[in-house]
Structures are given as structure tokens and as C-alpha cells.
Amino acid sequence: MNPQPLGPLAALPAPQPLGPLAALPAPHIEYSQIAPAIIVFAAAIVGVLVESFAPAGIRAKAHAVIGGGAVVAALIAVAVLADTGSRPRAVLAGSVADDGLSLALQGLLLISTLPALALMVARYDSLTHTEAVPLTLFALGGMLAFVSAQDWLTLFVALEVFSLPLYLLCALAKRRGLLPLEAALKYFLLGAFSSAILLFGIALRFAATGSTSITAAPQDAVLGTIGAALIGVGLLFKVGAVPFHSWVPDVYQGAPTPVTAFMAAATKIAAFGVLVRLTLVAFRDVPWRPVIAAVAVVTVLVGSVIAVTQNDVKRMLAYSAIAHTGFLLIGVFAGTVRGTGAVCFYLAVYGLSTVGAFAVAAAVRETRPDGGTVEVSDLERWAGLGRSRPLLAGAMALFLLSFAGIPLTGGFTGKFAVFAAAAQQGGGGLVVVGVLASALAAVFYLRVLMTMYFAPAHEFAPDVPRVDPLTGFAIALGIAAVLALGVFPQPLLDLFADLTVFRGR
């Protein structure tokens, strides 16, 4: 029997090529330009394998070697990339910015993370699990991608990559009861809300521009403005600006002190890095300066006023961090390359001095009946610390003086730089408010100094044990940064003065 034709199917044309899609070249991935993030993520994965298969007795030392080595190697990679030319540009199909700003922020993140990791390894006895270092490396890798994101999708994914490990790290404290769990839950819930708001803003911005590039100009002004506002809310939550600051004191107080040190320094560097990039290249169509000015004024005042009433050292440092967020926003207000350099300089001083201050807080401990030690964060019990442990008290005094902006400290130079940048762009009123807030903030910093040096020793003053070498390293690095950047700030100011920023085609 002869086969019958298949009716209409027999007349179907042969498959055609896919048109322009068939000619699309394979994306070119510049691995060398993302080497710092690759190194950190690879070390984090190795840390997970160590946690899974290595004997419990060697995990802490293995994590210390892997984590510290990865941060140093990534820092070397940043230095090598900084010596190469051909920037600013976008790499990885336009999703990552290869410019001076991204390299400067990555360097600041790595330098601030190194003493925080040292403090974490030194204070493993205060953590419930040894996987804190791999989690920290995952968070650091997300931050490295976050500050160089040139695409909205890359930015959001990087945000979640560094946020999720932080939620877990907050809950790892031993012997703190339910306080760490409360801190982690608050951080997670509020962080989820802020991420959802930011994602909604990204969706509106995409609808307005038709592109996921952060440099794309919106075709619909209303959608573009609303999207920018929602994205700004998500970022202001991450930096702890008022009125999105409610999580900061509870999380800083409840989380393990090494984790708090890492969060206080690295998260602020990452979030402010993205904030300055967006104000320079993405939100040029939005009148963002009045909003930044209003938020900066409220933030410095709320942080400075409430800090005066705090009796817990970690909580006092949390409100101090809120006040510093306001000072940094004054630098963001400038919206210029000089203002961006001033913000980067401020972040360099703030990051290292904050880790040093929390390292001192972690070192002020007392011995428990079972032979272990526990932190003493009640400010009243620090009375007489200047006489019993003069080196620790002296280090804390130096950090507090830098926070207050006393001359010959890095904090003074940082505040002067952001104030000068804002004044050049018509922010004279902001500068006046910032100076007054600095004077108010000096009240609670001096209160700590008075307690340590002039108050009679507390009835239950702790017998502070000897400081271990890793904690001493974190404190010494903070001291060196405060003094060096206070007495010889010009080299770093010059380095940050001419940062290149990729602004799109």
C-alpha cells in the first residue's frame, strides 16, 4: 500500500533560523574584573566544606586561615586592578561597573572586614556555631558585587546575597537568652519589607525606562520618580537613616559583638557606596537633594539626642552609628565627585574605628563561675576602667574622640571633608546643623570618658582578662587608622578626589 500524504502537515515549511537571536554572540565574561568577589565566594564555599567534613578541633583555625587569606588575596586583586587602565566601563554584559568608585569601595570593604574577622575568630567562644566565618565571607562577597552593580537585577541579587547571611549571624550568640533571636527576627522581618519595597521600586523603574541598566533615562517621569523613591527607602533602611532606623539599636545590642562590628562597618560602606552611585548616575531625573537634606537633619539630631540617654555601651554605639549616617548623608547631598570622595574617606575612618570600638567592647569581660567569660556592656560597670586597664580605656577614648570629630583624629578630617563638599553645593544650612549635632554628640562621648577615668570604681567592676592577640590586632588597626588619617589625611583624600564613575554611554 502506498503511503498517503499527511494532509496540511506535509505542506509545513522547514524550520527557519531564529532571526537576530541566531546571530547573537556568546556573552564575554571578564573574570579578571570580578576577581575579588570570586576569591571571597570561593573561600566561603571552601569554608562550608571545612565545616562539613573537618574535625571540630581544627575548624576554628582552618576558618581563620581561609578567611583571612581570602580577604588579603582579594585586597591584592583590588590593588592589581587599580593599576590597570581602560576604565571607567561596564563589564559582564553591562551588569558590573569597572570604575574607580567600585574599586575604592571594594578596598574599603575588605580592609574593614579583616579586623572584624580577626575579632570573630578570637571570640568564637561567644558564638554558637563556627560557620560564622563562611557566612561572613558570603555576606562580604555579596557586598563586593553590590557596590559595583550597574544593573538593577545584579544589585537586587547582591543585596539578598549579603543580607541573608547577616540575618543568620545575628542569632549565633551564646548565653544571651532570647536577645539574639529577637535581634535576628527583627532584622529579618524589617529587612524583608525593605527588600520588597526596593524590588517594587526596581520594577517601576524598569517600567519607566524599559531597561534594567541603572543609567537608563526614564520615559515616564511619574513612574521613574516613584521607583526612585522606593529604591531610596530600601537603601536608607540599610544605612539606618531615620525614620528607618528602628532595627539598629536592637540588632546591634542583641547580635554577637564580632557580628555587630562587621555589620556596623561593612553594611554601611556597601549601602552608602550604592547610594552615592545612584545619586550620581541613576537619579539625575529626580529632585533627590531636598529629600536627602531632610533625612540627614532628622538623622543626626535623633541619633545624637537619644544616644545621650543610653546606659548600654553597644546600644550607645548603635545610636552613634545612626548619627554618623546623618553626617554621611550630608556628603551624599553634595552629589559631586568631590562629595563622593569625601564620603569614601569618612567611610574609611568610620569603618576601622567602629570595628576597633566594638573590639574594645568585646574585650571588657568578666569571668563566670564556670570559668568562661562574658561581656560587660553596662556603662556604669566601666567606671574606673581607665585606672585598671589604661590601654583598653585609652583606645576607647581615642575612638570616641574621633567619633566626636576632635582635631588631629580621622573623624575630624572626615567631617570636615563632607561638610566642605556640601557647602560648595549650597548646603550651608546642613553644615550648621551638622556642627551643632557634633557638639551634642560630644556630650555622650564625654560621658563615657568621664565614667572610665573620673568616676569611682564600680562595686561590681569586672576583672578584665588579658586581651588576646587577634582582638588586639583589631584595636591596633583602628588606632592606626584614626591617628594616620587624622595627622596625614592628604594622600587618601587625594586618592579619592578623582574617583572615576561609569555614567553609561
Q: What is the DSSP string of 185-220?
A: HHHHHHHHHHHHHHHHHHHHHHHHHSSSBTTPPPSS
pLDDT at 456: 81
Query: Within the chain, what is the greatest distance between any pair of CA atoms?
Result: 113
Place 177 in a pLDDT band, splitting at 50, 70 and 90: low
Cell of 135: 557566612
pTM given for the model: 0.91
Q: Which residue, among 93, 79, 174, has the nearest Cα to 130 in the 3D structure?
A: 174
- CA 272 from chain centre, in angstroms, equals 8
pLDDT of 216 higher than 70:
yes
User: What's the rounded mean pLDDT across residues 227-236?
Assistant: 93
Q: Which residue, among 117, 135, 119, has the nearest Cα to 172 in the 3D structure?
A: 135
User: What's the rounded mean pLDDT across residues 476-504?
Assistant: 89
pLDDT at 197: 93
Q: What is the pLDDT of residues 94-153, one digit of tens each?
A: 788 888 899 999 999 999 999 999 999 888 776 767 788 999 999 999 999 999 999 999
365: which strand partners?
375
Instruction: Give the integer Cα–Cα distance in Å for 493 and 495.
Output: 5
98: which strand partners?
89
The percent of the chain in helix, strand and coil, each rounded to the nearest 5, is 70, 5, 25
Q: Which residue, among 292, 153, 271, has the nearest Cα to 229 in the 3D structure?
A: 292
Amino acid at 283: F
Give strand ranges (E) for 268-378. Answer: 365-367, 373-375
How many helices and strands, by DSSP H and E, does the chain display? 19, 4
